[in-house]
Amino acid sequence: MYDAVYTGKLSGNGKYTKKCQHFFEEKYGFKKTLLTTSCTDALEMCAILLDIKPGDEVIIPSYTFVSTAIAFIRQGAKVIFADSERDTPNLDVTKLEALITDKTKVIVPVHYAGVAVDMDPIMELASKYNLFVVEDAAQAIDSFYKGRPLGTIGHLSAFSFHETKNIIAGEGGLLGINDERFVERAEIIWEKGTNRASFFRGEVNKYGWVDIGSSFLPSETTAAFLYAQLENINDIQLKRISLWNSYFDKLKPLKDKISLPEIPSYATCNAHMFFIVCNSIEERNRLIQTLKDNGIYSVFHYLSLHKSQYYLEHFSERPVLEEADKYTDRLLRLPMFYELAEVDLIKITNCILDFYDV
């Protein structure tokens, strides 16, 4: 941070922006990455790059954050909601093909809690119907699908470095590009619709307005903070995975009373969050209150987007998505952050065990 401030360049696309982008490209194998001010911005860049127009359909899970939908709706798309799997909050790929029409343009799998969606069937459908795939990997840094880093499988991807994520910058995001067709235009959109980046590399003798775009670049201080996190990513991940494993081991006696996270054989767990699934919304509410009474803060997560106020006011379709609604009503997130002490984790798990009389 000190170095970023005293170099005299605080605006984006400087030394630390480049260092962060190089880190992701070298470590995970992206063709190109661009830091953004948020994951929402990265998703909006995806919608622009894919030339989304009114009438285009984009398939997303209902159980996700609103940014997954807004990025495409702002370009005029119609979102088609997919249900979650029975055993994980991720998109149910077995029901995906039935949602594809001649208006479908993009599939957006969301890797919930950093655990991979089954990507092979999605990429096969994309190839069969000539569709694009955008991985919403907001929670999925340093997680893998069959040995491949999440975010490197679809045509494009988006990551978050919000303060609630594994690797943080306060606010921040990343656009991952895996298809060469999008590299040049992405940089122009990123630089407010100008070819400014090419100018500073000496590729053109002047720069100007050549496309649509916006101010998607984060400041150098944000990039510097992020790079310090990236330098310590292995230590951060080891600590988080240790906490996740401790949660799982201590709560295993409840496996017949509640649902614990399931990690499919094709996926890894990056320990972004630890959640349990209660048997009803009433049970979850009672558990939240019990934890609160013991000084423990636990929260539910997403509200199904197909039942959101905005969707109900602007769209006539009323899909029935029972699994998404199940997670809306019954999923409970437990405290998970790098500074969480083992003694506090023991207190949390003991409180839950007592609640279920185990």
Q: What is the pLDDT of residues 255-278, one digit of tens each?
A: 999 999 999 999 999 999 999 999
Domain count, the chain: 2
Residue 217 sits in the same domain as residue 106: yes
**End-to-end alpha-carbon separation of the chain, Å?**
48
State pLDDT tens for residues 230-240: 999 999 999 99
The reported pLDDT for the residue numbered 203 is 72
The reported pLDDT for the residue numbered 222 is 96
Residue 93 sits in the same domain as residue 214: yes
Find tokens 């310090």 and name the residue: 228
| 192 annotated active-site | no
The reported pLDDT for the residue numbered 5 is 54
- pLDDT-derived band at 195, boundaries 50, 70, 90: confident
State the Cα torsion 237-240-246-249 to the nearest 10°. -70
DSSP 246-270: HHHHHHGGGTTTSBPP---TTB---
Residue 233, CA distances (Å) to 167, 168, 240, 271 in order: 7, 10, 10, 13
- pLDDT-derived band at 207, boundaries 50, 70, 90: confident
Query: Hey, what are 70's tokens?
Result: 């807004």
Look up residue 4 and give its amino acid.
A
| Rg of the chain over all Cα atoms, to the nearest angstrom | 21
3-state secondary structure 128-176: HHCCEEEEECCCCCCCEECCEECCCCCCEEEEECCCCCCCCCCCCEEEE
With pLDDT > 70 as the criterion, what percentage of the chain qualifies?
95
Find tokens 């909601």 and name the residue: 81
Sign (positive or negative) of CA dihedral 235, 157, 33, 39: negative
Helix axes 220-231, 233-251, angle to 10 degrees: 60
Read off the CATH number of the domain in which 67 is found: 3.40.640.10
The reported pLDDT for the residue numbered 217 is 94
Tell whether the model's pLDDT for residue 204 goes beyond 70.
no
Residue 242 sits in the same domain as residue 326: yes
Find tokens 């609604």 and name the residue: 325
CA distance 335 to 298: 6
Average the pLDDT over 107-117 and give the result: 98
Residue 222 sits in the same domain as residue 243: no
Residue 191 sits in the same domain as residue 259: no
State pLDDT tens for residues 154-186: 999 999 999 999 999 999 999 999 999 999 999
State pLDDT tens for residues 313-334: 999 999 999 999 999 999 999 9
* Longest CA pairwise span in the chain (Å): 73
- Residue 129: domain span: 2-231
Residue 249 sits in the same domain as residue 225: no
State pLDDT tens for residues 70-103: 999 999 999 999 999 999 999 999 999 999 999 9
Last residue of a domain, one of 182, 205, 231: 231
State pLDDT tens for residues 116-167: 999 999 999 999 999 999 999 999 999 999 999 999 999 999 999 999 999 9
Tell whether the model's pLDDT for residue 9 goes beyond 70.
no
The reported pLDDT for the residue numbered 13 is 83
Tell whether the model's pLDDT for residue 202 goes beyond 90.
no
Query: Of these residues, 165, 255, 257, 292, which one is catalytic?
Result: 165
Residue 36 · residue 174 · CB < 8 Å: yes
Residue 189 sits in the same domain as residue 276: no
Average the pLDDT over 34-60 and give the result: 98
Query: Hey, what are 264's tokens?
Result: 């499919």
Find tokens 């809306």 and name the residue: 328
3-class secondary structure, 350: helix
Last residue of a domain, one of 208, 231, 254: 231
pLDDT averaged over every residue in the chain: 95
Last residue of a domain, one of 231, 266, 293: 231
Residue 8 sits in the same domain as residue 151: yes
DSSP 186-248: HHHHHBTTB-HHHHHTTSSSS--B-S---B-PPPHHHHHHHHHHHHTHHHHHHHHHHHHHHHH
CA distance 42 to 64: 16
The reported pLDDT for the residue numbered 21 is 98
Tell whether the model's pLDDT for residue 17 goes beyond 90.
yes
Residue 91 sits in the same domain as residue 198: yes
Read off the CATH number of the domain in which 337 is found: 3.90.1150.10
Residue 146 sits in the same domain as residue 282: no
Residue 259 sits in the same domain as residue 331: yes
The reported pLDDT for the residue numbered 4 is 58
Residue 72 sits in the same domain as residue 204: yes
